[in-house]
Chains A and B, each alone.
Chain A
Amino acid sequence: MSNSNPNNGGLEALHRLKSTEPPLFLAPSPDLSQAARLASKYVFSLLQPHCPKSPFDNLLVDEFDAEQIWQRIDIQSQPLVSNLRRELNKFEKNPELVSKGFDRFKDEKKTQEREIEEQYDEMDGYYDDDGDKMDGLDDEEEMDGLDEGEDDDDDEEEEEEEEEEKGRIAGIEDRFLKVKELEEFLEDGEARGYGLQKKKGNRKVDKKKKSEGSDEEDEEEGEDDEDDAEDEDEDEDEELGDLGFSDDDDEGLDKLGNARLMLWTRLVRGDKAKIVVDCCYFGIIMIEEKGFKSKSKPIKESEDSDFGNDEGSGSMHEEILSTHEREHMRHQSDIEQMEKVNLEPKTWTMQGEVTAAKRPKNSALEVDLDFEHNIRPAPVITEEVTATLEEIIQKRILEGRFDDVQKPATLPSKAPREYKEMDENKSKKGLAEVYEEEYVQKTDPASAPLTFSDEQKEASMLFKTLCLKLDALSHFHFAPKPVIEDMSIQANVPALALEEIAPVAISDAAILAPEEIFAGKGDIKEEAELTQEERKRRRANKKRKFKAETAKRIANKAQTTIWAKLRIIVKSTAYMSSINKKNPLTTEAAASLLPPDNMPAKTPITAAVPQLTVPGNLVLP
């Protein structure tokens, strides 16, 4: 089938998309959608011949969902990319093929593809303006949709490609960043040197923009690559800058004549993103490199268009800048960049005191916060530490040196309490007597009877009598001490009686009752008062008493005479035994046998008579 009509339709669609204002893309319109579908179909068909295993002949866009269309594109691009990789490896091994390939295509396709590239560039420019299509992308780095209508699809596709490129870049790096080859190329390209100065400057600017702006891994990797590359071949940059690929991103590739060189240099430099190239398939190149468009698009576009016009002329139309000017330009771009950064608000880490509300969520976890700790860190308890501690303890135990609480030296705070021993016996004095004594003490203390204990009283009495006797003996004119009248308390008077009003100097006789004065047992009555019978009775009592007495006396006498006789016997026996030496009996022993001298008279005679053996040859006097 002829593709011309659909191609034209596709081209027209592309044109139309290009001409629409960017904000219009935000609102869903069937018109734009239709245009987008046509355009994607067109591009798909362009690519389709180059894809060996393409399952679809053309992209059916009419009734399908965006998601489904994208899936198809994806299916096509997967084998396509691997194919390209293979081709690339082939070219790597045989560089001559590249030139052949370029020559072949130079004339045929250049117009067509240049157009396409331009359009793509422009559209990418639109996409740049539209800003983020995907979440997670930084502003400065866009994944631009290849397919205008299906933004997300293409973005994802390009992301994929980008990732593959990343992988490829690493591989490329290893093979291509060889100093020798680079040096060779440097020598080769010296001639072109000055024409490329300007371009190089721009590229560096772009690179720097990219490096400053983004956090994406690709770019960082790319930075590393670029830095390496830059370090190694600055001269090369000059040369390469000319080719119209001022931007790291797809750069024009518009120059067909330079495309081959461009590719080659890119290969050599290990430039990321650009190198995915099948020299024949500029469209593909463009697709793959689309992902790395930067904001410098407008500049690029102009340059690209310039370059597009000057096919084959290479970079020679650039002005020749001196070293100083180049430096100057570089500094200017740096300054611009820094000023731009300074005008923006700072990141939260640089903002001084930041509360949780002012920084994004969980951002403190990602940042490596560093504090200076002025405290000494806690000790880690190792075996050695424990061993040293135990040593110290053991030493202290052996010395017996502990830091215990000391009991304080007990100063007597008050005098020791006097413990009065309670006498538990009942007091001999009654309470009334106690009160009496107190009264006496109060009124007449001199005459108060002194309270002595019984023993004391007895002792004092004895002493008094002794003193009296001694005084009587010792003093010539002894005058006994006058008796001091002391108030003596008569106990046997009923209280009522005392309360009678009686004169003070009253004799005992009046106070005491006669029975109390004289409690007599004997003969109370006098003889004059006696009656006859009483007289007789008295006499009879007397006689009876007398008789009893005399009888007792006689008995006593008898006893004493027996005792006297016994005494004599004992004495004589003692004498005898002293002479008779066989059985000596001392006088004390003999005396002990005798009853004691003050033996009472009434001891019966029969008792306590010692048994004496009287020797036979004794002659009693």
Chain B
Amino acid sequence: MFRRNQRLRREYLYRKSLEGKERLLYEKKRKIREAFQEGKPIPTELRNEEAALRREIDLEDEHTAVPRTTIDDEYATASEKDPKILITTSRNPSAPLTQFVKELKFVFPNAQRMNRGGQVISEIIETCRAHDFTDVVLVHEHRGVPDGLVISHLPFGPTAYFSLLNVVTRHDIKDKKTVGTMPEAYPHLIFENFSTKIGERTSTILKHLFPVPKPDTRRIVTFANQSDYISFRHHIYEKHGGPKSIELKEIGPRFELYLFKVKLGTVDQNEAQIEWVSRPYMNTSKKRKVLGD
């Protein structure tokens, strides 16, 4: 198990190192292609390799023409298997936090909740890798109000750190009858306004927490981005009457997510490379919109 992990990690790193060379090649081919299309002479630095590259260009198809990025490579095989999630909290959770975590367990299909006790993070990650979990979700709090969410994809996948704001849990709504029970069908997903590269990355991270749904489910989970604050909503819909009438009923907790860091390792790897981190004390940070438009 340990050796397997090491081997996989080495392979991943090797592929990442090849990425640079591949990118160079891709650039050269692109230049040659452009030169041909526009009828311009080939750039002089490519004169020697031109023939070989041209042959390769001819043999390309749409898969090989695009250089492979190792970013998102962690999710290359993720869609083949259903995700398996473990949800825990920080140490000594309060009662409202445990309730919230219980709700989250029902939101993500195929999720399990575990008491944190006194375990160390590295232990948790090791056991999860051994038991073939795909994701680990940690929830943090401040005086009963959940305020942090860490989603870590397991075989050395990326980790996304979110702050939670404006949290409204199902337990807050005291009346049990209005809230009702939560269905456990695999939901449809809606991602709204994730247009930049980091937005795409975030949406893949969030997307692969859910399995492939049946086409006719009535459960919808929405992640809507508005100026870097992602709203999470959870609805059930019904189609009454005519074709254009959809009645939405909100179930499940509701909160805003604010992404502040994406790391290229798991939670326990402190020295992993940081893919992106938010810079709130930069002068222009008010003008920047990172996740969407």
Contacts and interface: CB of A to CB of B under 8 A. Distances in A.
Interface of A: 374-376, 378-381, 385, 389-390, 392-394, 396-398, 402-408
Given A405-B79, A406-B212, A376 B256 contact: no
A406 B207 CA distance: 10
A397 B220 contact: yes
B79 A375 contact: no
B80, B222, B254: which has the most chain A beta carbons within 10 Å? B222
A381 to B, nearest CB: 5
A389 B189 contact: no
A390 B207 contact: no
A374 B286 contact: yes
B188 interface: yes
A380 B212 CA distance: 33
A176 B144 CA distance: 60
B112 interface: no
A554 B211 CA distance: 94
Interface residues of B, number: 40
Contacts of A398: 244, 246
A403 B224 contact: no
A376 B227 contact: yes
B195 interface: no
Contacts of A376: 227-229, 286
A392 B189 contact: no
B92 interface: no
A397 B246 contact: yes
9 contacts: A375-B285, A378-B258, A379-B166, A394-B248, A398-B246, A403-B203, A404-B189, A404-B213, A408-B80
Nearest to B278: A375
B184 interface: no
Contacts of B285: 374-375
Given A376-B229, A407-B212, 13 more contacts: A374-B286, A375-B280, A379-B229, A381-B231, A381-B256, A392-B222, A393-B233, A394-B248, A397-B220, A402-B189, A403-B190, A405-B78, A408-B80
A402 B258 CA distance: 22
B192 interface: yes
A385 B188 CA distance: 22
B40 to A, nearest CB: 38
Nearest to B279: A374
A379 B256 contact: yes
B28 interface: no
B222 A402 contact: no
B208 interface: yes
Interface in B256-293: 256, 258, 280-283, 285-286
B162 interface: no
B68 to A, nearest CB: 15
Contacts of B233: 389, 393
A393 B235 contact: yes
A396 B280 CA distance: 33
B260 to A, nearest CB: 10
Nearest to B82: A405
Contacts of A403: 189-191, 203, 207
The 7 closest A-B pairs by CB, nearest first: A402-B188, A403-B191, A375-B280, A374-B285, A378-B165, A394-B246, A403-B189
Nearest to B163: A378
Contacts of B203: 403
